[in-house]
């Protein structure tokens, strides 16, 4: 059974940094696409980035490019989202998601298409990030 558990959220001042973790069980990172999403109150879910180890490809949306970085631990069981230069508009619940295969994060066209999140099968419970001004 695939399970994803996010952690690391919290309250930070604008300009600060946070590190979120997505601990995965029941899957091998090399066989899955990992995506990060967020949802602010009253707003639609927003796809932020995806990573495919199989494709050696990572895609960041413009809203986080240059500020957020995805990596994984050596055991490839935890995806780490390093967030820097945080802004109040980054306040949201952050989710990691996984989908088997590599199609969802193969190139920019497919990454953008699938970052709606609707096709990702596995989701964590989310972790709250609050950025104060």
Among 48, 47, 43, 57, CA closest to 106: 57
Using CB atoms within 10 Å of the CB of residue 48, give its burial: 0 to 12 exposed, 13 to 18 middle, 19+ buried: buried
% of residues, the chain, pLDDT over 70: 100
Instruction: Identify the residue with better confidence: 95 or 73.
Output: 95
Alpha-carbon distance of 21 to 89, in angstroms, equals 20
Asked whether the predicted pLDDT for residue 121 surpasses 90, the reply is yes
Q: Residue 65 has which token pair?
A: 């490019």
- Alpha helical stretches, state H, 4-132: 108-114
What is the overall mean pLDDT for the chain?
94
pLDDT-derived band of residue 17, with 50, 70 and 90 as boundaries?
very high
The string of pLDDT tens digits covering residues 21-75 is 999 999 988 899 999 999 999 999 999 999 998 889 999 999 999 999 999 887 7
DSSP-derived pairing of the beta strands 127-132 and 10-13: parallel
Among 96, 102, 90, CA closest to 55: 102
pLDDT-derived band of residue 123, with 50, 70 and 90 as boundaries?
very high
């Amino acid at each position: 059974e695939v399970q994803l558990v996010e952690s690391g959220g919290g309250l930070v001042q604008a300009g600060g940094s946070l590190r979120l973790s997505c601990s995965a069980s029941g899957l091998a990172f090399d066989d899955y696409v990992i995506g990060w999403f967020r949802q602010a109150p009253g707003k639609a879910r927003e796809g932020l980035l995806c990573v495919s180890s199989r494709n050696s490809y990572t895609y960041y949306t413009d809203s986080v490019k240059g500020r957020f970085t995805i990596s994984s631990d050596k055991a490839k069981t935890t995806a780490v989202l390093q967030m820097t230069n945080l802004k109040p508009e980054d306040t949201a619940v952050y989710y990691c998601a996984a989908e088997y295969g590599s199609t969802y994060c193969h190139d920019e066209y497919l990454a953008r298409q699938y970052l709606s999140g609707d096709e990702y099968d596995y989701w964590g419970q989310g972790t709250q990030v609050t950025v104060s001004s």
